[in-house]
Amino acid sequence: MLGEALLMGETLSSKGAIRGSAYFLQIEIERNFKGNEASSSNPTQLHSFWNGIWSGQVPPKIKTFVWRACNDSLPTRTKLLERKFLHSFSCVLYNEEAETCDHLFLECSFAQAVWLQSPLLNDYRCYLKMKFIDAMNAAIKKLSAPVFDTLCIACWMIWKCRNKPIFNNVAPSHHELWSRANLYRLEFVEVQQKNLQESSLKASRWNPP
């Protein structure tokens, strides 16, 4: 179960918030592990976790998004308040609590409504007040690869919904978001397979001397 992995100390969130581009995020993570042997995590576990993220059957932009979310480097309202770009840190979607990555993807009523749409996420949605990276670390171990990929896409879609009232003045909707995320994944995999088949056909064609 998701909670069991956390109780066993298999957490990644002890790294703390890391900021910057994807490249510098990775560099800082590796440096922190080398300089902090007291961490509850270890380099092997972290390497395995990131391999699971980067090997997913989702577009690169979503992999990068999940990477940033796990390292708490998305421009949430709490982050923007820290940088003095905003005067409020309340969640954009439901204005309930401080908008952090942990709240936005795990605790927010909007996200909870999305996770309720999938019976496969019973464990994932039951454990609140945890770090997002820990939830993803547990999920990648417990869920099948297709379901985890859909989970990553759903998180990305939640972020897009979060941005709609800010940039487009459009009310966000979680209606069938999980189904839309799964359809997005299926269409992406279909295109990838088609491209692979076309590449194989081109490579196998005989060219006259």
Q: Cα separation of 101 and 108, whole Å?
A: 10
**Burial profile 173-201: b = 16 or more Cβ within 10 angstroms, e = fewer:** ebeebbebbbebbeebeeeeeeeeeeeee
CA 157, chain centre distance (Å): 10
Q: Is 72 helix (H, G, I), strand (E, B) or coil?
A: coil
Q: Quick one: pLDDT at residue 34?
A: 43
Residues 6+ apart with CB under 8 A from 112: 125
Band the pLDDT of 74: cuts 50, 70, 90.
very high
**Rounded mean pLDDT of 159-176?**
93
- How long is the chain? 209
**pLDDT for residue 61 is more than 50:** yes
Q: Which of 21-30, 90-99, 110-119, 192-201 comes out lowest in average pLDDT?
A: 21-30
**pLDDT for residue 5 is more than 50:** no
User: 20 in the Ramachandran plot: left (φ > 0), alpha (ψ -120 to 50) or beta?
Assistant: left
Q: Cα separation of 170 and 75, whole Å?
A: 19
Which is more confidently placed, 77 or 37?
77
